[in-house]
């Protein structure tokens, strides 16, 4: 099975930049999607296809993907960005959706 590994936690001061990595074997050959999950709520898509922002998602959210690591970058972090973030891919060889292990972002 395909495994996506994320750091359990990332801490960042308000106004600074947070980077969340998602590691997977040759993940650069796949499309990576990112979700934000606030406490007690359903996940919300914030990045699709490595770097596309759905309507309504601030430009502060950006994604990249290369080789074995995809990255979600949140610029000018705000208190409201404190949440859990999950990467996700479609594993075509098995026709399965795969989620990353999740990262809790704490705004100091």
Partner 1 sequence: QVQLQESGPGLVKPSETLSLSCTVSGGSISGYYWSWIRQPPGKGLEWIGYIYDSGSTNYNPSLKSRVTISVDMSKNQFSLKLSSVTAADTAVYYCARDGGVAGRLEGYFDYWGQGTLVTVSS
Distance in Å, CB of 3 to partner 1, minimum? 12
Distance in Å, CB of 95 to partner 1, minimum? 5
Q: What residues form DSSP beta bridges with 85?
A: 36, 103
How many Å apart are CA 22 and CA 28, to the nearest integer?
A: 11
Q: How many residues bind partner 1 (CB under 8 A)?
A: 25
Binding flag, residue 100, partner 1 (CB under 8 A): yes
CB atoms within 10 A of CB 55: 4
| Among 99, 25, 18, CA closest to 63 | 18
Comparison of 33 and 71: residue with beta carbon closer to partner 1: 33
Comparison of 17 and 106: residue with beta carbon closer to partner 1: 106
């Amino acid at each position: 099975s395909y495994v996506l590994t994320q750091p359990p936690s990332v801490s960042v001061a308000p106004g600074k930049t947070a980077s969340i990595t998602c590691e997977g074997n040759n993940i650069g050959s796949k499309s990576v999607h990112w979700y934000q999950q606030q406490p007690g709520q359903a996940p919300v898509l914030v990045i699709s296809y490595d770097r596309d922002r759905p309507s309504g998602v601030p430009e502060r959210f950006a994604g990249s993907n290369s080789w074995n690591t995809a990255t979600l970058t949140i610029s000018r972090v705000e208190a409201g960005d404190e949440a859990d973030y999950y990467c996700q891919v479609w594993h075509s060889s098995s026709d399965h959706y795969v989620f990353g292990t999740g990262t809790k972002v704490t705004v100091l």
